[in-house]
C-alpha cells in the first residue's frame, strides 16, 4: 500500500479522505472521542502539507436517508477543537453545499461533508449504484486517502469504489492497524495469548478457528463462555447460550486438546436472578463455581478466581490480542472481570492489542488511558475479520492501487 508520503507534494492539491467518526453520542455530546483522536495524525499531516482536504465519514445507521439524529455536526465541532482549526461542515453529502464547501477550500483547510450513509448508494449491494456515488466523491479530490480502519471490511462507495477512481494511499491509522494485526497472525512473539469475550459465540467462530492455529492460549469470557461451559455438560441456568454453536465449540475444545493448546474457561462466575440491560441495573450478585451454576440464575461476569487465572495467563504473554468484554461491564458490580483483563494487559512486557469495539469503550470507561496499551484498534469488526485471515475489500483495493 502507498503511504501519504508516496503521493508527493500535496500543497494546493485536493485530497478526499475517508475517516471513521462513528462515535457514541448522548444527544449531541460525544461520550468517547477516541476515533476522532486516532484520525488526527493523518489529518494534521495533510493540513501541514497544505492540502485542501475533504473528509468523508459516517455516524450510525441512517439507512440511506437524511436523519438529523446522525448529523456529523458534533464531530465537526470536536474535530475543530482538537485541531485548533475551523472545520467547515457541508449540509449535504454530494449536493450543492458539499460541492461549494469542497471547491472553496484554501491550502491547509479541512471540510467535512455530511454523513455518507445519508446516501442510499453508499452501502448499496449494486456496484453500479455505488460507483455512481463514488464518482461524486472523486470529484472532490485529486487523491484519495483511506484512514477509516473501522470500515475497511465493507465494500462501500466511500471505502472501496472511490479508491478505484483516484490515486490512493493508506493513512497512518490504517497502515498501523494492518501492520499490527497482520503481524499477530503471521509471526507473533510467543507465548501468544488471545482473549475473546462478548455476547455471542457465532460472531467469533471464524476467528476462533483461525486463531487456534496460531495462538498458544485462548481465553474465553463474556456471554460466549456459557456456550463453552454448556458444551462441557454443565448447567448454565438462564445464561446466554448459542445452542447452534455447541457442536462447533465441542470441536474446538477437542482440537485444542489434540494440538496441546490451552482454552481457558471461567472457573467461577458472577450470577444474578434479575438484570435489566436497558436500565443498567442488576439484582443481588452471587459468585459460584462455573460448574455449579444454579438453574434459575444468569451468568453475567467472570468471578474473582477466573480474574486471577486470566490475568496470570495474560501477563505471561509476549503478545496479547483482546476482543470483547468479560461481562456486562456497563452495570456496576459486573465490570470487575473486564477491569482485571484490562489491567493485566497494561502489565504485559510485550505487545498488547485491544481489538476495538466494546473492548475499546470498556477500557476508556473504566479509566484506562490509551497509552497504557500497545495498540487500541479503532475497528472491532475489521480487526476480527483481519484476525480471521480474511481479505478486507478496503485494504485489497489499496494494495491494487497504483
Please compute Rg for the chain using Cα positions: 22
Catalytic residue among 13, 14, 18, 35: 35
Q: Which three cell numbers stand for residue 349?
A: 512486557
Say whether 190 counts as a known binding-site residue.
no
Catalytic residue among 148, 223, 303, 381: 381
Q: Which residue matches cell numbers 485548533?
A: 84
Say whether 20 counts as a known binding-site residue.
yes
Say whether 299 counts as a known binding-site residue.
yes
Catalytic residue among 77, 120, 200, 305: 200
Say whether 358 counts as a known binding-site residue.
yes
Say whether 330 counts as a known binding-site residue.
yes
> Can the peptide bond before residue 191 be classed as cis, meaning omega within 30 degrees of 0?
yes
Residue 346, classified by CB atoms within 10 Å of its CB into exposed (0-12), middle (13-18) or buried (19+), is middle
Say whether 59 counts as a known binding-site residue.
yes
Long-range pairs for 387-391: beta carbons < 8 A, 24 or more residues apart: 387/181, 387/184, 387/185, 387/207, 387/210, 387/211, 387/321, 387/323, 387/355, 388/206, 388/207, 388/209, 388/210, 389/185, 389/210, 390/153, 390/206
Say whether 154 counts as a known binding-site residue.
yes
Say whether 356 counts as a known binding-site residue.
yes
Say whether 148 counts as a known binding-site residue.
no
Q: Are strands 286-289 and 268-272 parallel, antiparallel or unpaired?
A: antiparallel
For residue 381, indicate whether it is catalytic.
yes
CA distance 182 to 383: 10
For residue 389, indicate whether it is catalytic.
no
| Nearest CA-CA partner of 326 in 220, 184, 178, 175 | 220
Say whether 35 counts as a known binding-site residue.
yes
Inter-residue contact 270 to 327 (CB < 8 Å): yes
For residue 200, indicate whether it is catalytic.
yes
Catalytic residue among 198, 355, 357, 394: 357
CA distance 282 to 295: 18
Residues designated catalytic: 35, 200, 357, 381
* Known binding-site residue numbers for substrate: 20-22, 35, 58-61, 117, 154
* Known binding-site residue numbers: 20-22, 35, 58-61, 117, 154, 204, 299, 330, 356-359
Amino acid at each position: 500500500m502507498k503511504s501519504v508520503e508516496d503521493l508527493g507534494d500535496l500543497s494546493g492539491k485536493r485530497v478526499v479522505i475517508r475517516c471513521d467518526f462513528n462515535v457514541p453520542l448522548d444527544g449531541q455530546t460525544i461520550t468517547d472521542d477516541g476515533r476522532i483522536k486516532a484520525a488526527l495524525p493523518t489529518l494534521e499531516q495533510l493540513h501541514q502539507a497544505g492540502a485542501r482536504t475533504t473528509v468523508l465519514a459516517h455516524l450510525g445507521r441512517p439507512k440511506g436517508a437524511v436523519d438529523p439524529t446522525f448529523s456529523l455536526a458534533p464531530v465537526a465541532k470536536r474535530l475543530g477543537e482538537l485541531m485548533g482549526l475551523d472545520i467547515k461542515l457541508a449540509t449535504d453529502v454530494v449536493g450543492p453545499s458539499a460541492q461549494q464547501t469542497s471547491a472553496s477550500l484554501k491550502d491547509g483547510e479541512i471540510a467535512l461533508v455530511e454523513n455518507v450513509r445519508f446516501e442510499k448508494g453508499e452501502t448499496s449491494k449494486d456496484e453500479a449504484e455505488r460507483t455512481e456515488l463514488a464518482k461524486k466523491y472523486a470529484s472532490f479530490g485529486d487523491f484519495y486517502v483511506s484512514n477509516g480502519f473501522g470500515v475497511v471490511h465493507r465494500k462501500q462507495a466511500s471505502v472501496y469504489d472511490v479508491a478505484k477512481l483516484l490515486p490512493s494511499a493508506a493513512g497512518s491509522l490504517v497502515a498501523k492497524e494492518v501492520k499490527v494485526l497482520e503481524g499477530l497472525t503471521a509471526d507473533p512473539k510467543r507465548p501468544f495469548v488471545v482473549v475473546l469475550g462478548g455476547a455471542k459465540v457465532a460472531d467469533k467462530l471464524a476467528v476462533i478457528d483461525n486463531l487456534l492455529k496460531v495462538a498458544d492460549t485462548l481465553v474465553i469470557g463474556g456471554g460466549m463462555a456459557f456456550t463453552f461451559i454448556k458444551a462441557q455438560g454443565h448447567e448454565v441456568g438462564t445464561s446466554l447460550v448459542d445452542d447452534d454453536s455447541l457442536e462447533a465449540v465441542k470441536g474446538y475444545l477437542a482440537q485444542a486438546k489434540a494440538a496441546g493448546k490451552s482454552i481457558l474457561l471461567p472457573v467461577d462466575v458472577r450470577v444474578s436472578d434479575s438484570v435489566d440491560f436497558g436500565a443498567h441495573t442488576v439484582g443481588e450478585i452471587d459468585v459460584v463455581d462455573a460448574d455449579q451454576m444454579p438453574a434459575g440464575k444468569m451468568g453475567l461476569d467472570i468471578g474473582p478466581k477466573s480474574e486471577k487465572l486470566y490475568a496470570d495467563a495474560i501477563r505471561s504473554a509476549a503478545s496479547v490480542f483482546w476482543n470483547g468484554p468479560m461481562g456486562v461491564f456497563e452495570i456496576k458490580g459486573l465490570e470487575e472481570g473486564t477491569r482485571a483483563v484490562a489491567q493485566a494487559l497494561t502489565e504485559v512486557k510485550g505487545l498488547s492489542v485491544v481489538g476495538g469495539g466494546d473492548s475499546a469503550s470498556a477500557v476508556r470507561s473504566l479509566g484506562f488511558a490509551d497509552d497504557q496499551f500497545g495498540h487500541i484498534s479503532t475497528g472491532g469488526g475489521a480487526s476480527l475479520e483481519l484476525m480471521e485471515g480474511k481479505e478486507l475489500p478496503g485494504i485489497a483495493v489499496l494494495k491494487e492501487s497504483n
